[in-house]
């Protein structure tokens, strides 16, 4: 019965698409920007609509909604979604867990490849590196929170902090490595993979990885709530999960 109702929603959207074309507003985080932009634009195109995908970090996305700006669909960390839920900034019952993100390590394409195959190897690599970069925790980047826990576990927080340059976004951090301004970048794998000139070395070793969970929901002030609901179905569909997997993320099974 549930599947029948979902199919009915999609059929209604498809039937009326050409007569009622809409702009679907989607707000996402940087770590999920690439796959969600692909899914949203494909979904909109197939249904005769357009998609306006805006990306930022959880803190900026949340702050934007708190100012009163509306969106059809919002995706942030699950912790951030807790806050949006408490503040009634999402449609009740629309929250859906969609993916987990892992942190990876990258250097500039063509640069020597350091060893990160184990906790001890990564520790040596970080201590020997001349310069490191990642997102500043002051800007609410979840990756920096996870990295602090990792560095504390390795016991090298002070040494690494002295040679770390902080950025406001993962993309900015990766570009510093591509431009040769920094030797090593630590960022979400899904942010590293799309960037030309960055060589992904792999995820953090087991035991040092702190996966970040992401959720999607319909914005409380959505102008197109049924379209947003259908987009969530597309995100969690087998094709949507394939796109998410290809982007270096781990989709949540539904």
Residues 9 and 56 in one domain: yes
Task: Compare 4 and 123 and report the one with higher pLDDT.
Answer: 123
In a domain, residue 208? The reply is no
Per-residue confidence (pLDDT) for residue 253, from 0 to 100: 84
Give the pLDDT mean for 103-109: 97
130-139, 149-158, 242-251: least confident range: 130-139
Does the pLDDT at position 212 exceed 50? yes
The number of folded domains in the chain is: 2
In this structure, what is the dihedral angle of CA atoms 75, 106, 122, 169, given to the nearest 10 degrees? -40
> Does residue 110 lie within any of the structural domains?
yes
| 6 and 91 inside one domain | yes
Average pLDDT, the chain: 91
Q: How sure is the predictor about 9, in pLDDT bands with cuts at 50, 70 and 90?
A: low
- Do residue 41 and residue 59 come from a single domain? yes
Longest dimension (CA), the chain: 61
Q: Containing domain of residue 118, as a range? A: 103-203
**∠ at Cα 52 (51, 56), nearest 5°?**
135
Query: Residue 39 has what pLDDT?
Result: 98
Q: Are residues 135 and 68 in the same domain?
A: no
Question: Would you mind telling me the total number of residues written for the chain in this entry?
Answer: 254
pLDDT at 142 over 60: yes
Pairwise pLDDT comparison (20 vs 120), residue with the higher score: 120
pLDDT at 18 over 50: no
Q: Which helix (H) or strand (E) segment is 101 a member of? A: strand 96-101
Q: Which CATH number fits the domain that encloses residue 96?
A: 3.40.190.10
pLDDT of residue 10: 56
pLDDT digits (tens, 9 = 90+) for 43-72: 999 999 999 999 988 888 999 999 999 999
Residues 198 and 228 in one domain: no
Mean pLDDT of 228-247: 97
**Distance of alpha carbon 232 from alpha carbon 226, whole angstroms:** 10
pLDDT at 220 exceeding the cut of 80 = yes
Rounded Cα distance, 83 and 252, in Å: 21
Q: Which residues contact 103 (CB under 8 A, 6 or more apart)?
A: 143, 146, 147, 150, 186, 187, 188, 189, 203, 204, 209, 210
- pTM equals 0.81
Q: Give the relative orientation of helices 238-246 and 225-235 as an angle to the nearest 10 degrees.
A: 70
Q: Are 252 and 99 in contact (CB under 8 A)?
A: yes
Same domain, 93 and 115: no
Average pLDDT estimate for 133-147:
79
pLDDT in tens, 169-181: 888 999 999 999 9
pLDDT at 5: 53
Tokens of residue 86, six digits = 């408490």
| Whether pLDDT at 188 is above 70 | yes
Do 181 and 150 lie in a common domain? yes
């Amino acid at each position: 019965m549930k599947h029948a109702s979902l199919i009915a929603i999609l059929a209604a959207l498809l039937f009326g698409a050409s007569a009622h074309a809409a702009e679907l507003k989607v707000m996402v985080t940087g770590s999920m920007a690439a796959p969600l932009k692909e899914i949203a634009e494909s979904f909109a195109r197939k249904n005769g609509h357009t998609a306006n995908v805006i990306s930022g970090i959880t803190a900026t996305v949340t702050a934007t909604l708190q100012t009163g700006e509306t969106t059809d669909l919002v995706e942030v960390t699950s912790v951030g979604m807790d806050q949006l839920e408490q503040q009634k900034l999402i449609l009740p019952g629309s929250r859906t867990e969609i993916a987990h993100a892992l942190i990876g390590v990258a250097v500039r394409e063509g640069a020597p490849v350091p060893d990160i195959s184990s906790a001890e190897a990564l520790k040596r690599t970080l201590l020997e590196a001349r310069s490191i970069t990642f997102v500043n925790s002051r800007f609410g980047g979840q990756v920096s929170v996870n990295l602090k826990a990792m560095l504390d576990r390795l016991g090298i927080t002070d040494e690494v902090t002295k040679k770390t340059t902080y950025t406001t976004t993962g993309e900015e951090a990766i570009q510093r490595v591509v431009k040769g301004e920094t030797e090593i970048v630590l960022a979400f794998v899904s942010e590293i993979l799309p960037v030309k000139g960055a060589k992904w070395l792999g995820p953090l070793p087991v035991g040092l990885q702190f996966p970040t969970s992401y959720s999607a929901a319909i914005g409380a002030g959505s102008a197109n709530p049924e379209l947003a609901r259908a987009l969530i179905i597309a995100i969690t569909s087998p094709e949507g999960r394939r796109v998410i997997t290809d982007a270096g993320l781990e989709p949540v099974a539904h």
